[in-house]
A and B are shown apart, each in its own frame.
Chain A
Amino acid sequence: EPEVTQTPSHQVTQMGQEVILRCVPISNHLYFYWYRQILGQKVEFLVSFYNNEISEKSEIFDDQFSVERPDGSNFTLKIRSTKLEDSAMYFCASGHRGSNQPQHFGDGTRLSIL
């Protein structure tokens, strides 16, 4: 069964540095998402991406964040000038059109900001 893959599984970065989290969605999916789960808290929506542009973003997704689909297969989340509170598990997901279609999630990248 096709899977969403994320790399790296764990990223440790100094505060203030830039990080790029990478995802390879399922190949025939058209909708892509990033979610975040701070330790012990609920999974939170960050951003959705369709047709090479952001379709929706949350209040969390400020100017510090950006997403890109550079080559038709990868889907990346960039965090500029990381802060301690960015430490979390970041999940990538992909899906077909329509809210009744389930999203498929990767195993996540654990981001630790020191």
Chain B
Amino acid sequence: GDSVTQMEGPVTLSEEAFLTINCTYTATGYPSLFWYVQYPGEGLQLLLKATKADDKGSNKGFEATYRKETTSFHLEKGSVQVSDSAVYFCALAHGSGNTGKLIFGQGTTLQVKP
């Protein structure tokens, strides 16, 4: 069945460091891909999305490119801030005709130190 695999955390970085969180997926067809972020005590918020191969999603300085050839959707940010400390979830949803349920990776905790 479909699945999403993320790099294990926690990831600890100093402020202004470069961030990469790896995400790979297994799916039939052409899923849409998402990154969600969960700040402490809050629900999941959409960070960015990409719906087809080679699309780049971006938001708040974060970027991820839909790579069909490597079945990957790695999250990057050039310069992290303390406020970026959160849990990041990679997820996929299937194409038209489906219910659109999300399949999540296990989440990666990011801690940014001043």
Contacts and interface: CB of A to CB of B under 8 A. Distances in A.
Interface of B: 31-32, 34, 36, 41-46, 49, 51, 89, 91, 93-96, 98-107
7 contacts: A43-B104, A44-B104, A45-B103, A48-B101, A95-B100, A99-B98, A100-B49
Contacts of A50: 99
Interface of A: 4, 6, 31, 33, 35, 41-45, 48, 50, 55-56, 91, 93, 95, 97-108
A44 B102 CA distance: 8
Given A33-B102, A43-B44, A100-B51, 12 more contacts: A6-B43, A42-B104, A42-B106, A44-B104, A45-B102, A48-B100, A93-B102, A98-B96, A99-B95, A99-B100, A100-B93, A105-B44
3 A-B pairs closest in CB distance: A99-B93, A99-B100, A100-B51
Chain A: interface secondary structure?
strand
A43 B37 CA distance: 12
A108 B101 contact: no
Contacts of B102: 33, 35, 43, 45, 93, 103
Given A33-B101, A56-B101, A100-B32, A106 B94 contact: no
A80 B75 CA distance: 40
A105 B98 contact: no
Contact of A91 (B43, B94, B101, B105): B43
